[in-house]
Structure 1
Amino acid sequence: MNNRQNVRLPPEVNRALFVRNLPFKITPEEMYDIFGKYGAIRQIRVGDANDTKGTAFVIYEDIFDAKTAYEHLQGFNIMGRYLIVLYYQPNKVTKKMNLARKEEELRELKSRYGIADEDD
């Protein structure tokens, strides 16, 4: 009998983890070795651009495996760096991006129709 059915998880818990403070030289293979101990992984994406180095997304097949990894790897020391593990919350990221996009669209409309900002 699977007793996981009746477990209520906090709303922020999901299958996707966002990991920060990774060593820049860590390889995807090393990531799979570390995070794969806690369950089947669907995908790992290690940041390689200047603004995403030291970060990664780790997506598990099962939410309970993600929760276990989150609990065990928070503050885990890898190559002298302590991991920061967060549940990925896409709505926080997309809200910021959507707001910036809306502000840009508003600026374009104002300039197209010759409307000055109040603070001009």
Structure 2
Amino acid sequence: MAFAGGARGAGAVRLPAEVNRILFVRNLPFKISADEMYDLFGKYGPIRQIRVSSSPDTKGTAFVVYEDIMDAKAACDHLSGFNIMGRYLIVLYFSPSKQTKKSDLASKEAELAEMKAKYGEA
């Protein structure tokens, strides 16, 4: 059975592997409020959670969790490079594997330094 005009149903959409419901947002204005975040990102669909970082070393970043993956994709597509309060947003899909790779690398480097100290390597 052929589809008219080659159109497919919504269930047939194939998304890239990195696409998920969690967005990592960088370069946020430091003075942006939670309400402003919900107003901006809520235009693309229902939001489960927004976590704006308040620690000095991660200030200007946030995680936005959408209910639906297609809403997250729309927000990422439309808000990446969006100018708000004089800053251009960097919107990426959250990748837990990148976070674990960073922590694994740090632990391996610490282990290597420990071994070098133990065996007298410079």
TM-score interval for Structure 1 and Structure 2 normalised by the shorter chain? 0.7 to 0.9
Deviation at 1:8, TM superposition (A): 0.5
Stretches of structure 1 that go unaligned for 5 or more consecutive residues are none
Distance in 2 of aligned mates of 1:93 and 1:7: 28
1:1-120 maps to which residues of 2 (within 5 A)?
3-108=9-114, 111=117, 114-117=118-121, 120=122
- Percent of aligned positions that are identical: 67
Deviation at 1:110, TM superposition (A): 5.7
- Give the TM-score, by structure 2 length: 0.85
Distance in 1 of aligned mates of 2:9 and 2:23: 24
RMSD: 1.7
Count of paired positions: 115
- Give the TM-score, by structure 1 length: 0.86
Distance in 2 of aligned mates of 1:47 and 1:29: 15
Deviation at 1:48, TM superposition (A): 0.8
Stretches of structure 2 that go unaligned for 5 or more consecutive residues are 1-7
Give the residue type in structure 1 aligned to 2:106.
Answer: A
2:4 is aligned to: none
Give secondary structure in 2 for the equivalent of 1:18.
Answer: strand
Deviation at 1:62, TM superposition (A): 0.6
Distance in 2 of aligned mates of 1:61 and 1:80: 29
Distance in 2 of aligned mates of 1:3 and 1:55: 36
Distance in 2 of aligned mates of 1:78 and 1:110: 48
| Deviation beyond 3 Å, 4+ runs, structure 1 | 105-111
Give secondary structure in 1 for the equivalent of 2:56.
Answer: coil
